[in-house]
Structure 1
Amino acid sequence: MDSETRKSNRKLVGWLGVAVVAMFGFGFALVPLYDIMCEALGINGKTNTESAVQPIGMRADITRTIRVEFMAHVNPDMPWSFKPEKMSLDVHPGEVIQTVYFAHNQSNQSLIGQAVPSVSPGTGATYFNKIECFCFNHQPLEGKGKAEMPLIFYIEPDIPDSIHTLTLSYTLYNITSSAATDGAVLDISRAQVGSSSRPALDYPTSEISYE
């Protein structure tokens, strides 16, 4: 191999190295770019991660109706089934609504799940407030166990008139390993098989049938 060929090969290797570094950096940049695009396009809006308190004196606006659609997704490494009781509800802004999601651990092992919510369009996410949500806490479930997971929410009355539909979507992740690393204890007593307990409410809600 002559010197010109070796020089050409070194140059090629150098350019390939630059390309690999550039692609690696672009991969890291995709996450913030994706967040920016979602915010600009009004999709995958983030919702409150702590319990919201219904403002005193807030009244339902019965002249308006917002369709709330419920979706459920399960990460591939999570052997649970996960679904909403209702696929959609028609809600008056300012009305407190109670419904549930159902979870079933289809494996023989005790596992811990974590649901991550999003609301679309993103412009409506700040008007969607969760008073009680299973997504606020880890959800432990024994092997073959089932649980009803409550959701209580309201939509703020000043939601823009241009928004007629909100889609609430949850993705359920298996966090058993990370929870164990953090020293979390798998408390199965919170999610017994066939559990149907619901939180006590100190305010009126429009409760959906649990039959």
Structure 2
Amino acid sequence: MKFSENTKVSAKLLALAASMLVFAIFVMPPLYDAFCEITGLNGKTGGRYEAVPAAIDTSRSITVQFIASNNDNMPWTFSPSVMSVEVHPGEVMDTVFIAFNPTGKDMIGQAIPSLVPFKAAEYFHKTECFCFNQQILKAGEQAELPLRFIVDPEIPNSVNTITLSYTLFDVTERISKNIEKNNEPEREG
């Protein structure tokens, strides 16, 4: 049986599309995370920071602005309690974000941070952040989500404003599937 030229081209295109999909789903995210960590691009903030006492630079202040948004599938109300704060480099600052689950079901949310200007990411240290963990809110429940941070005194003098934004994602289904998978009894072979 001889394949037509169209069938061969279609098979090659299908294989190419499948390869691109596998690359995009499994290979690209870890590469992107590594790239952002090395370069500081995309304003990704680091994980938990252990605060070391440092001198507070009272000769200057930096405005830290807060933005909150929801992923398209997240029905919660999510916002910062204040839109901005003035902070001296080296000073510990506390604030909260407010989340409300208006639905009739318990849900789990995960916040992903981003920071601009990109070059400020290595100088912005979170010692406590709701983004370190998933947030579980029961139906109709509201919560204050804490954020504690320090702007490093070594931040360049050219940085006067930092904008920290969080996007909130609904991870209820994904987390529930992982819990179910981990609770399945082992089958004997």
- List gaps (5 residues or longer) in structure 1: 185-211
**Structure 2 residue aligned with 1:104:** 100
Q: 2:69 aligns with which of 70, 73, 98?
A: 73
Match of 1:49 in 2: 47
Q: Identity across aligned pairs (percent)?
A: 43
Q: Do the aligned partners of 2:36 and 2:44 also contact (CA within 8 Å) in 1?
A: no
Does the 8 Å contact 2:57/2:153 carry over to 1? yes
Instruction: Provide the residue aligned with 1:153 in structure 2.
Output: 149
AA matched with 1:49: G
Per-residue deviation, 1:157: 0.3
Aligned residue for 1:125, secondary structure, equals helix
- For residue 195 of structure 1, what is the aligned residue in structure 2? none
Change (3 A) 1:20 1:136: closer
- SS of structure 2 residue aligned to 1:44: helix
Query: What is the distance in 2 between the residues matched to 1:48 and 1:35?
Result: 11
Aligned to 1:189: none
Q: Give TM-score, length-normalised by structure 2.
A: 0.78
Name the SS for the 2:179 alignment partner.
coil
| Amino acid across the alignment from 2:97 | Y
CA-CA distance at 1:183 after TM superposition: 3.0
Greater Rg over alpha carbons, structure: 1
Partners of 1:21 and 1:138 in 2: how far apart?
Answer: 32
- Distance in 2 (CA, whole Å) between partners of 1:84 and 1:77 is 20
Counterpart in 2 of 1:194?
none
Query: Which of 120, 140, 143 is the matching residue for 2:136?
Result: 140
Superposed displacement of residue 89, structure 1:
1.6
Q: Deviations over 1:56-84 (max 9, x none)?
A: 2x121111121211111211222101011
Gaps of 5+ in 2: 181-189
Partner residue in 2 for 1:13 = 10
Give the number of the structure whose residues are more often helix, by fraction: 2
Separation (CA, whole Å) in 2 of partners of 1:181 and 1:9: 42
For the residue of structure 2 that corresponds to 1:183, the secondary structure is helix
Q: Distance in 2 between matches of 1:13 and 1:175?
A: 37
Q: Cα RMSD between the aligned structures?
A: 2.8
Give the number of aligned pairs.
178
Quick one: which amino acid aligns to residue 46 of structure 1? K
What SS is found at the alignment partner of 2:159? coil
Q: 1:157 to 1:54 in 2, by over 3 A?
A: same
1:151, 1:36 → 2: CA distance? 25
SS in 1 for 2:13: helix
Q: Which residue of 2 aligns with 1:126?
A: 122
